[in-house]
Structure 1
Amino acid sequence: MLWGRDGEQAALSQLLSDAREGAGGALVLRGDPGIGKTSLLDHAASVAGPMRVLRGAGVEAEAELPYAGLHLLLQPVLGHLPYLPPPQADALRGAFGLGPAAADRFLVGLGVLSLLSELAADGGLLCLVDDAHWLDHASADALLVAARRLDADGVILLFAAREPGFPAPGLPEVRLGALLPADAAGLLDATAGHLPSELRHRVLAEAGGNPLALVELPKSLGLHPLTGRLQEAFQHRAGALPAAARTLLTVAALDGTGQLDVVLAAGRELGGTAADLAAIRESGLVTIEGRRLGFRHPLVRAAVQGAAGDEVRLAVHAALAGALTDPRDADRRAWHQAAAATAPDQKLADELEGTAKRAAERGGGAAASAAYQRAAELSADAHDRARRLTLAAEAAEYGGRFDHARAIAEHATGAYADPELAARLIRVRACADYGMGLLPSAHAQLSIGIDRLADDDPQAAAWLLLDASSLVWLDGDRDMAARTDRQLAGLRLPDDDPVTPVYLLCRWFAALALRRPPEGLPPLPEVVAAARELAELDRRGLLLVGALGLAQPDRQTHDLATRATAQAREESRVGLLPQSLTYLAGTQLALGWHADARAHAGEAVRIARDTAQPQWATQAGALLAYLGAIEGDESACAGFGEARALLDLGLGRAEAALLVFEDLLYGRARNQISAMRVVPDLVEAAVRCGRPTRAVEPLARFAEWTAILDQPWAHALAARCRALVEPAEEHFTTALKLRTRPFEQARTQLLYGEWLRRARRRVDARPPLTSALQTFERLGAHPWSARARAELDAAGWTTSRSGARDPLAALTPQERQIVQLAAQGLANRDIAARLFLSPRTVGQHLYKAFPKLGVSSRTELAALSEFSPARDAP
């Protein structure tokens, strides 16, 4: 019986019931030590019925061994790997050292998802992970990737964790508090009813409603004054053991794996024997089942570790290292040796570097960083120490631990004497700052690197200049732009250097950022055509795709982003997908394919969060907010100023919109592209407010920018702005002849129709207003279609709701993606691998989508595959 946990037990029962019906989900139980998290996991297992149960836990001693926690959970079911998609099965084998490591650690999480879904096929699956705050980072990341995607899988994943460990954004949580007084008294009386009244009140007061304290404190009353501290109570009970048994208990606490053979082998080196196990077992501090030893509670392990003096701890670690003779335990052995070391040891440092390399190959960036850092501490040679600290910083940055990477790079002062190591550390600091949103600091680091490399390695400097140029656009600071421009002007590259197109493109973008006509540069289309050939599938190549998006037709950028996304999926390079999907969604938004843009932007946000890329989560989120603004969804715009202002403009709140647009343009804009993009909106808002003079200077800026960029969509917007500030029909007709991006084209038609109606040309106003209304309705732009309909009514034209809606408009973005791929003939398993879902989730989405579409089989979907010009998008 669990006292005082009726609500939590009911919630778990409901989760299990839902799983038996095919649903899935995850839950994190949080609370202080001893508050009852493990007991609730035990309760869930006891009421799971016929569901399969897997159980694992984080182990403090294995926190630096990548995928140790995941292996503990999945080891009993690894025989099911052949049933998984090959890339995911291979990723799991690589994570566990059973094969080559995966190219992308995200695949490990997808493999976990597929494996759990496969195991749940016969009656559901319950996975219990205790002490999740002690999971190694790689295991935690993989399990969270799977947990966030549980939907129609019949899988329940329960985590128990302390605060503040195991951050799990996106997962529901239950925080366990102290028991109510009546429940605390009931538990105490049930477990220690013999207590005299005075001691009973003291225990209740000291325990503070903590269930473990209520059970354990009474056991120490006759031996030790009541302290109210569980750890001290456990230490007192351990201290009462014979010396040899106490030593063996310490070995078990510092081992952390529970392997009885290893504990006994190490214990023998320190005077312990198998006979001492009886005393340990009788103490009630441990449980022994077969060849495994476990502590009754994590606090017991912590208490035993805390009671051991430094000399004992060093000896125990050395004995454990000697006991781990299996080659598969090489990494565990190296960490015990490192824990026993008190002085530099070059041989041990070399072994730890090998541990770090293996961790990095398996995708354990955090574990690799820790091993490299400890290897540096043990290095006798100064250069080796600097090199290993550099590797530690790089591994931390790769693993998404940006603050840790930055700290290592800042303190690796000895490495900056070596030009190569210095350049690598500067790149780490820039990437970490970028990942943390510290754009000016990231740019400053890149500038330092460019200055260091400009003479000795101009190619590398040119690529850094591309990074710096992108930050100039994202941040919008003119001083940053001017510094990058000076560095560009000072760089010397031969005309035939293969990186020259990148350099020239950066020069063009510097001119754009400074709104200064380019001097002595080849024409932009020529530069773009040459740079397009360098857009390979890596982070810099993708950055080039984004840069080209400003300087070439939308269709060309869409084709580049489509190929990059498809290649990233095919090669399982999941970490590149947030960037390529964001670019793809951006071009689809420009081309008027809003449903596809929403689906790809949403996918980019999900993967960016799972792969620790907050910058791309924000950028893709901004696209979703912009789409929400077009459609009139106020909640979708929260936290995104530009989107909210566009929504205000669409709803007729021009004054509020104008203030935001002016702040984006004249304030310290966070995004140079946004600063220019809002000018046409600012001009319209100013004119609608009756303040056309506030539009004059912004329009002049935009005209300079447009002249340099020389793209049809930019010229069309500039012409529309002129039509508003200098009312003249020729400006409207110029803008409309360019036939650019659908949403903007429709807005121009709406403004033109309004102008014609006010000029008493009601009949002439009807065609552009009708065209605008049709586009707005197709795009679901409700505020704008309402305005177009009102204008048509004022022009004497009766309107009706258009029936030419997207036949798939009723689907969610994910259902739309799945239907799109199913219509192309892909099986559920293939769709799941492509969209990073489980096959059962794909099947459930199709089950929901069919009635919405009025179809009953896959064969009928083929007729719907023409719903979008982007139907072949990845």
Structure 2
Amino acid sequence: MRLPADLSRWRRAAELVGRRAECSLLDRLIATVRSGSSQALLVHGEPGVGKTALLEYLAVQALGYRLVRSNGVQSEMELPFAGLHQLCAPLLERLDDLPEPQAGALRTAFGLASGPPPDRFLIGLATLSLLSVTAEDQPLLCLVDDYQWLDGASAQAIAFVARRLDAESVGLVVATRSLSEELEGLPELQVSGLAVADAAALLDSELTGPVDAAIRDQLVAETRGNPLALLELPREFTPAQLAGGFGLPAAGPLSGRIEESFARRAAALDESARQLLLVAAADPSGDSALVWRAATTLGIDSSAASPAVETGLLELGARVRFRHPLARSGIYRSATLRQRQQVHDALAQATDPGIDPDRRAWHQAHAAVGPDEHIAAELEQSAGRARARGGLPAAAAFLLRAATLTLDPAHRATRALAAAETHVQAGSYADVHDLLTMAEAGPLTDHQRAHTDLIRAHLAFVTNRGNDAPSLFLRAAKHLQPIDPQLSRTTYLDALSAAIFAGRLATPGGDVVAVAQSAGTAPPAAEPRVPDLLLTGTAARFNDGYAASLPTLREALRQVDESKPAEEELRWLWLASTTALRIWDDERWDVLSARHLELARHVGALGELPLALTTRAYLMLFQGRLDAAEAMADEEQAIKESAGTALAPYIALGLAAFRGGEDRMAELHGTMVPGMTQRGEGVGITFAEWAKALLCNSLRRYSDALRAAQRAAEYLPDPGALIWPLVELVEAAVRSEDHAAAVDAYDRLVDMTAVCGTDWALGLQARCQALLSKNDVAENLFRESIERLARTMLRVDLARAHLLYGEWLRRERRHTQAREQLRTAHTLFEAMGLTAFAERAAHELRAAGGAAGKRADAGRYDDLTAQEAQIARMARDGLSNPEIAGRLFISPHTVQYHLRKVYAKLGVTSRKQLELVLRPSHDA
């Protein structure tokens, strides 16, 4: 049993005044964790309202639990993973129980090993796994106070864990002053001031003499029941003032008045005690040995400790602990700038440069009285170490401070430019424009000016996904062309990708044709690599025509087979995969999309996963492996929930179209298109309209399909942005008896398919041509289509060829042959789960005098929750618990918990038996 080290604090925490409801909620959290489940809770409220007291109450009630803590400190916000290390340090003996690369990610983040910078989501997943394996021995309670002052990397990891806790026997309680976007949606406990009666009782319990009733009422009213204010503000008045009613509190923000109260108590001490308090306030680590070394440097002897401690502001033991964060900030803010600089200088001297060079550099920066090149260089090195550990927010902060301490204009501009780039990479955009302005104020080389344009382009692309990003990339590429030809080519490729993405919504001068014309002037590469070939081929597509681009694009895809460093390959694998799609090469689409997904998972590039999942999932859809696509949609949704971001649900859109989900399509279409329009994501509008056209064709609503397909295909500059709308347009136009629209769409399609020569391209060409033909010509084309598509892996296109051939045969009154084709189509659609197409085939089959077979069992998912169904699908397809956990960003313990529930609901006892009751997806 864990006994409290400080019995008086233990008693205070167990006897909170006026917090019955809050304590009851916390008691239920403790019971939940004790039962084997997990729970995260966000406790928020103004400074001094009692959040820390509630955390102490939890610590008392959780006797028998393992307890770990982390406290955010404002002055430590720039030190990478400082807060997360506080939380995890006592648990690192279990690090070897984590799978790689999770263990490696934490070792790198905490500076225990060197390695490539880990992805921030991978660090979050590793933290979740570490908490989970620790909780196997006993329930685990994690208390995080002053979350608003955690360093950015730690805050991201803790928010990730809070969103993904489920069945690990872990409680995570986060206290913060205000809500933040990354914590949005978590269970909340809003802490407000005490009720009037409770506030008066708390005030009376602390007063040692009589108090005038008016003063009591005024204190209660003006503090709004804030417990810390009730305990601290009466100290401002003499007993006579309290008893006589002369001395009402001054107006002003409550947190500022509490800080001032703490500062006045410190000011009453002698100079040595005041200095000691300031040293402790300036050091966020709580290391008492470090504080005393710095104090000795300042000539403060040990006699200063007693008066400092007797004020009640500070505890000096193995750790240094302030009564409240406002006591620390009040003492620090009340000191003069010169006093703070002296204290930071002493702390820098007391910090071992070999053990903690980054904290030493940070203290040196705070101690600097003006520009200092030595300190700026130290901060630059700290930024490099932070970047290597995956702490991009910290690296950005170090570089920003380095730039401000740099006197030489050229060095200042260089550091400001590096800081701006790192801020963009870290996803913190607020300071980027100011840093670029700082950089442009100094003498920049031509290369640096071009790099400034490049940063602006990346900033535009990541913040609004299109619009002005292509033209900004283009400007940077032109500036780089005579300076750095290789970087110029890479930037031209970025411009092309951004222009394709922006599509119909690109700003003037940034459309794909204009960008391609400029990209065609890029200097040739001496030894063309994959990205060089992708650039040359993609530009040629718009400048010289589709046929002219094919040899170069095919050579680019062939070279992907050659070994490349993983980090380099991830930069262009998405473009390579979509290029295979644009040239109708289903085999290369299969190989490259599988490689992209495998590589992103293997190296932990979780930020790259949504693109990889989407490209792979669409191949699964066309193969008729809808359950495999749904598993990828599950994984994409897990990323969305973990990151707290609004990723466009492209996979869900495709699933709705292929399954015939009319209501789901209406919901997705209604939310996606306005958002994509606002962001400038033109290619998304093409996707949404194509998906609607596909759905309407499956439902035999051909006029609706025609309108949607025309909207999808109306962006003429780039008909290959998405190759499928023209196929839907031909079918919808023929069924709507709009011959001119059908012929026009077919001619546009043939411009691509005839020169590609793949079975997929020529099979669809023959299918569309057959719809426009008659008699023997049509029949021969239908047969050619079926023959060619049967040689591909795209079973949905094959089934649709059988369906269209059967419909044609029925209209030719050849009912026996029609029934054969329609029954084949119906069987394929049913097996693949394409419900609407299956019903269309069944309707035609009945009209031909046949009967559709009994509907195939769609799987026994009805009794499972969404997460249970996700886990069941993955377990059925052979994934281990750690593999499932990694894909869904949950712990293996949670996977096992849900699998037990799945087995009970489905009446099975093993993974093997899942294959008997759930339709296999053959996931890749």
**Alignment TM-score > 0.5, same fold:** yes
1:789 to 819, 842, 852: 842
Cα 1:802–1:321, aligned 2, differ >3 Å: closer, same or farther? same
Which amino acid is the alignment partner of residue 198 of structure 1? Answer: A
Q: Secondary structure at the match of 2:144?
A: strand
Partner of 2:102 in structure 1? 88
Cα 1:260–1:525, aligned 2, differ >3 Å: closer, same or farther? closer
Cα 1:754–1:208, aligned 2, differ >3 Å: closer, same or farther? farther
| Residues 824 and 865 in structure 1, CA contact (< 8 A), matched pair in contact too | no
Q: Does 1:227 align with 2:253?
A: no
The 5 Å alignment of 1:726-765 reads: 729-730=778-779, 732-739=782-789, 741-757=794-810, 760-765=813-818
1:772 to 825, 828, 831: 825
* Deviation (angstroms), 1:139: 1.2
| Residues 220 and 233 in structure 1, CA contact (< 8 A), matched pair in contact too | no
The 5 Å alignment of 1:705-716 reads: 705-707=752-754, 711-716=758-763
Q: Secondary structure at the match of 2:285?
A: coil
1:627 to 647, 652, 655: 655
2:751 to 678, 701, 704: 704
Q: Which moved more, 1:808-817 or 1:96-105?
A: 808-817
1:841 to 894, 897, 902: 894
Q: Which moved more, 1:349-358 or 1:466-475?
A: 466-475
Q: Does 1:28 align with 2:42?
A: yes
* Deviation (angstroms), 1:274: 3.1
2:405 to 359, 367, 378: 378
2:543, 2:744 → 1: CA distance?
15
Q: Which moved more, 1:814-823 or 1:358-367?
A: 814-823
Q: Does 1:236 align with 2:250?
A: no
Q: Which moved more, 1:25-34 or 1:855-864?
A: 855-864
Runs of at least 5 residues in structure 1 that lack an aligned partner in the other structure: none
Q: Which moved more, 1:196-205 or 1:697-706?
A: 697-706
Q: Normalized against structure 1, the TM-score is what?
A: 0.87
CA RMSD between the two structures: 3.9
2:527 to 472, 497, 501: 497
| Residues 231 and 300 in structure 1, CA contact (< 8 A), matched pair in contact too | no
Q: Secondary structure at the match of 2:69?
A: strand
* Deviation (angstroms), 1:250: 2.5
The 5 Å alignment of 1:301-312 reads: 301-312=328-339
Q: Secondary structure at the match of 1:342?
A: coil
1:349 to 376, 391, 408: 376
1:187, 1:844 → 2: CA distance?
45
| Residues 753 and 761 in structure 2, CA contact (< 8 A), matched pair in contact too | yes
Partner of 1:201 in structure 2? 217
Q: Does 1:553 align with 2:591?
A: no
Cα 1:98–1:522, aligned 2, differ >3 Å: closer, same or farther? closer
* Deviation (angstroms), 1:521: 6.8
1:32, 1:668 → 2: CA distance?
56
Cα 1:725–1:618, aligned 2, differ >3 Å: closer, same or farther? farther
Q: Does 1:261 align with 2:289?
A: yes
- Deviations along 1:207-266, one digit per CA (max 9) or x if unpaired, are 234343344334434476413534224413432422423333222222222223333443
Q: Normalized against structure 2, the TM-score is what?
A: 0.83
Partner of 1:143 in structure 2? 158
* Deviation (angstroms), 1:165: 4.6
* Deviation (angstroms), 1:371: 0.8
Runs of at least 5 residues in structure 2 that lack an aligned partner in the other structure: 1-14, 242-246, 674-687
* Deviation (angstroms), 1:65: 0.5
Which amino acid is the alignment partner of residue 286 of structure 2? Answer: G
* Deviation (angstroms), 1:147: 2.9
Which amino acid is the alignment partner of residue 158 of structure 1? Answer: V
| Residues 108 and 117 in structure 2, CA contact (< 8 A), matched pair in contact too | no
2:321, 2:113 → 1: CA distance?
30
- Deviations along 1:14-59, one digit per CA (max 9) or x if unpaired, are 3332322322232222322233322332233233342222111111
- Deviations along 1:345-386, one digit per CA (max 9) or x if unpaired, are 111111111211111111111111111221122223333323
Which amino acid is the alignment partner of residue 289 of structure 2? Answer: D
Which amino acid is the alignment partner of residue 428 of structure 1? Answer: I
* Deviation (angstroms), 1:819: 6.4
Cα 1:622–1:830, aligned 2, differ >3 Å: closer, same or farther? closer
* Deviation (angstroms), 1:62: 0.8
2:709, 2:592 → 1: CA distance?
31
* Deviation (angstroms), 1:119: 1.2
1:20, 1:448 → 2: CA distance?
60
Partner of 2:4 in structure 1? none
| Residues 413 and 438 in structure 2, CA contact (< 8 A), matched pair in contact too | no
Size of the aligned set, in residue pairs, is: 863
2:558 to 529, 535, 541: 529
- Share of identical aligned residues, percent? 37
The 5 Å alignment of 1:185-196 reads: 188=203, 195-196=211-212
| Residues 376 and 389 in structure 1, CA contact (< 8 A), matched pair in contact too | yes
2:549, 2:288 → 1: CA distance?
75
Which amino acid is the alignment partner of residue 545 of structure 1? Answer: S
Q: Secondary structure at the match of 1:294?
A: strand
Cα 1:207–1:718, aligned 2, differ >3 Å: closer, same or farther? farther
Q: Does 1:544 align with 2:576?
A: yes
Cα 1:520–1:828, aligned 2, differ >3 Å: closer, same or farther? closer
Q: Does 1:580 align with 2:612?
A: yes
Partner of 1:802 in structure 2? 855
- Deviations along 1:436-494, one digit per CA (max 9) or x if unpaired, are 23423332232123223334544433333332222222111485222232233323426
| Residues 541 and 548 in structure 2, CA contact (< 8 A), matched pair in contact too | no
Q: Which moved more, 1:625-634 or 1:698-707?
A: 698-707
Partner of 2:682 in structure 1? none
Cα 1:36–1:698, aligned 2, differ >3 Å: closer, same or farther? farther
1:17, 1:646 → 2: CA distance?
51
- Deviations along 1:640-671, one digit per CA (max 9) or x if unpaired, are 341566556655666666555544444799x9
| Residues 58 and 135 in structure 1, CA contact (< 8 A), matched pair in contact too | yes
Q: Which moved more, 1:427-436 or 1:682-691?
A: 682-691
Q: Secondary structure at the match of 1:476?
A: helix
* Deviation (angstroms), 1:588: 2.0
Q: Secondary structure at the match of 1:797?
A: coil
1:550, 1:89 → 2: CA distance?
39
2:157, 2:563 → 1: CA distance?
33
| Residues 331 and 355 in structure 1, CA contact (< 8 A), matched pair in contact too | yes
Partner of 2:3 in structure 1? none
| Residues 447 and 483 in structure 2, CA contact (< 8 A), matched pair in contact too | no
Q: Does 1:298 align with 2:325?
A: yes
* Deviation (angstroms), 1:599: 1.8
1:599 to 631, 635, 658: 631
1:455, 1:708 → 2: CA distance?
36
